[in-house]
Amino acid sequence: MAYEGILNISSLNLERATELRKMPMIYLTKDGKPRFVSEVPAISGLMLKHWHFRNLINLSREAGDKICFFCNRLEAIRLPPEQVQRYYEELYKVKYGDKEIELIENCVGEDVHGFLAVVKGKSLRREGNVKFSWAIALGGRENEEYQEEAYRRIVIVQHSRHVREIPPEEEVKRQLEALKSGRNEGSGKNEKKDEFNDLMKQLKQLQMPYPKPYTSEVFGFTTIADLSAIGVSLTDNGKTIDPEVRKIRQRNTILAYAKMLFGEIGANLSRSLPIAGKFRLLIAASKKGHIPPPVHPVYPNYLVESVKLIKDAAELFQDPAIIRIYAYDMNRETKNALESEDSDLVDVKVVETPFTEGFGKVLEFLGL
Ligand SMILES: [Zn+2]
């Protein structure tokens, strides 16, 4: 899948303290010339993967799939130390397991997103079956003045809390002492002073401004999922879990991507749901899995280039594929260029709706 749309940087980008993450970038301009920009806002693939994981767990819970203790709490601790596993197993009657096949049978999170377990010098590792690129701000793709523009968009907003009245210090001191003498408490002078200071501090905090950075930006990222590896344990000679459960997990892995497009990614959604914007999406799948990741949206012509690349691989491996493209502002020329790649082996269509005609058709093609 290749995605291009508005994301909330301040919520997705704060992996390190309060500083926005930036990286150097070389953009290719439309005429093919490289252009260097020293600092570009970026969101790590780890952050995107985390939001896919959360959507997957929520969908899996609805489907009645097995989920371990931490995954159920949407915390990506895959796996906790052995003693912690045994503790929660006893307490909540959940099951982890020792071998890879048991661990993936007992939790969709460990199965789809992988894990690393180190127990008494013995280590067991499962690679995640869902992989994400970094999300890169796309402003620099066509805009020569991008660097300055990008910084202007990051704004700090002062929020404030208000209660009707904070009592004066003298009043608080007097009432605190009256309460103490009523209870006949003979505490020391310092203890009294600490209690008063703490209380005053907390009262004052009921009325205060607090700053919060906000910004939205058009970002692009790509992601791939190896559905064939879901429910298969490589360290148990390719043993698989129940085929029906595998199918549910493969379907939910795709639906979790669709949920990411709702804007259900990033923290602080209760006060900064991204201003819903239009997006562009390319979603592709192949029967045997010999499919390259799409070209990243940092490249200006990524939709046409991705279709050509996927078709080229499909022909080499004789692997039937489906590609659906949704873009709100596509011109006739691009639409014709994309649809002219449609063939017996690769079904290419530009669609009007991203969900039913996009994700829905891909699920149908895969028999999910
Ligand atoms: Zn889990």
- DSSP lists the bridge partners of residue 155 as 214
Give the three-state DSSP class for 108.
Answer: helix
Nearest CA-CA partner of 125 in 140, 135, 115 = 115
Residue 174 lies in a domain: yes
Task: Report phi then psi at 113, rounded to 5.
Answer: -100, 0
pLDDT of residue 289: 93
Q: Give me ligand 1 centre to Cα 192, in Å.
A: 48
Residue 176 lies in a domain: yes
* Per-residue pLDDT reduced to its tens digit, 305-335: 999 999 999 999 999 999 999 998 888 999 9
Q: Give me ligand 1 centre to Cα 77, in Å.
A: 7
pLDDT of residue 36: 85
Total tally of structural domains belonging to the chain: 1
Q: Give me ligand 1 centre to Cα 73, in Å.
A: 9
> End-to-end alpha-carbon separation of the chain, Å?
17
Q: Give me ligand 1 centre to Cα 365, in Å.
A: 29
* Per-residue pLDDT reduced to its tens digit, 45-94: 988 999 999 999 999 999 999 999 999 999 988 888 888 888 998 988 88
Q: Give me ligand 1 centre to Cα 159, in Å.
A: 37
Domain interval for residue 198: 162-207
Residue 217 lies in a domain: no
CA distance 67 to 60: 8
Average pLDDT, the chain: 87
Higher pLDDT, 69 or 30: 69
How far out from the chain centre does Cα 116 lie? 20
pLDDT of residue 254: 98
pLDDT of residue 19: 59
* Ligand 1 is an ion; residues with CB less than 5 A from it: 68, 71, 107, 109-110
Q: Give me ligand 1 centre to Cα 260, in Å.
A: 20
Residue 297 lies in a domain: no
* Per-residue pLDDT reduced to its tens digit, 120-155: 677 899 999 999 999 988 887 877 776 666 655 666
pLDDT of residue 327: 92
Q: Give me ligand 1 centre to Cα 103, in Å.
A: 8
> From start to end of 190-329, where are the E strands?
209-214, 216-225, 232-233, 239-240, 280-286, 321-327
Compute the average pLDDT of residues 343-351: 97
Q: Give me ligand 1 centre to Cα 106, in Å.
A: 8
If you ran DSSP here, which 8-state letter would residue 360 be given?
I
* Per-residue pLDDT reduced to its tens digit, 247-282: 999 999 999 999 988 776 776 777 777 666 678 999
Q: Give me ligand 1 centre to Cα 100, in Å.
A: 12
CA distance 59 to 258: 11
- Here the tokens at position 357 are 């005609």
Residue 170 lies in a domain: yes
Please name the residue ranges forming H helices in 183-276: 189-204, 243-260, 269-272
CB 100 within 8 A of CB 239: no
pLDDT of residue 182: 73
Q: Give me ligand 1 centre to Cα 75, in Å.
A: 9
Indicate if the pLDDT at residue 30 is higher than 90: no
Residue 316 lies in a domain: no
Query: Peptide bond preceding 79: is omega within 30 degrees of 0, i.e. cis?
Result: yes
pLDDT of residue 62: 97
Residue 119 lies in a domain: no
How far out from the chain centre does Cα 30 lie? 30
- Here the tokens at position 100 are 């890879």
Residue 172 lies in a domain: yes
Q: Give me ligand 1 centre to Cα 281, in Å.
A: 29
